[in-house]
Amino acid sequence: MSPKALIGVPADRRIVDPHPFQMVGEKYLDALIRGSDALPLMVPLMPEDVDVDELLGRFDGIFLTGSYSNIEPHHYNGEPSDEGTLHDPHRDAVTLPLARRALETGVPLFAVCRGFQELNVALGGTLHQKVHEVPGYHNHLENKEDPLDIQYGPSHTVNLADGGLLRELAGSDQVMVNSLHAQGVARLADGVSIEAVADDGLIEAFRVDGAPGFALAVQWHPEWRAMENEFSTAIFKAFGDACRVRARQRQV
């Protein structure tokens, strides 16, 4: 039996009573293990000690998770964040160059929520820091007082682009997704194609044009109970398939 493809998953860096911890949500690992049939390994956010090219030489894919933190706005020339906004500069320092190099070297890349925003910023795009305060857009935030099943439950439809990967995987032109984000795309980066748009016009997914490997970003959370959702399962399987192709190439 061939060894499973290795997928690098950058952590979050959080302070917990009062020590810094490197953390990855179990729901992401579960989706990658079961949905992508791969072995996810945490990438520590220690930018002075982690070499991006060395990482990419060891991994068959990169997965950028969601997070409670937001990208520091200076990375996209945005206005300073409101006081109390949670940031993770260690993550920014690893994921932004990691995403760019993954695309350049053909390492499959799948990004969700914060990862979706990271990929847009890494490629030169910008963000709305509070989508719900931008005229014309709905509130895309979850109610944190709701049970998790409600927070991560279906929230709104997205329209899938004709000829896109997601439309092919869904087998339809529209699907329901969950919604747990304050930030969103303001200006989409150049060199990408829209894969999905919310019912209010907000961009919810894109792929990177001309990337030599799988390169997809979605704003929602397909990892949540991924194996209970045919569309989510199909996305993670497609990512896993791309990682296995990379693994075979790397082993030659």
Residues tagged active-site: 113, 221, 223
Task: Note whether 80 and 73 are within 8 A (CB).
Answer: yes
Measured over the CA atoms of residue 43, residue 225, residue 222 and residue 239, the dihedral's sign is positive
Instruction: Write the CB contacts of 143 (distance below 8 Å, at least 6 apart in sequence).
Output: 150, 151
Rounded to whole angstroms, the Cα distance separating 35 from 98 reads 23
Task: Note whether 106 and 213 are within 8 A (CB).
Answer: yes
Q: Which residue has the tokens 């963000």?
A: 127
Instruction: Say whether 232 sits in a helix, a strand or coil.
Output: helix
Identify residue 125 by its one-letter amino acid code.
G
CA distance from start to end of the chain: 16
Task: Note whether 222 and 231 are within 8 A (CB).
Answer: yes
Task: For residue 45, give the nearest of 78, 14, 83 by alpha carbon.
Answer: 14
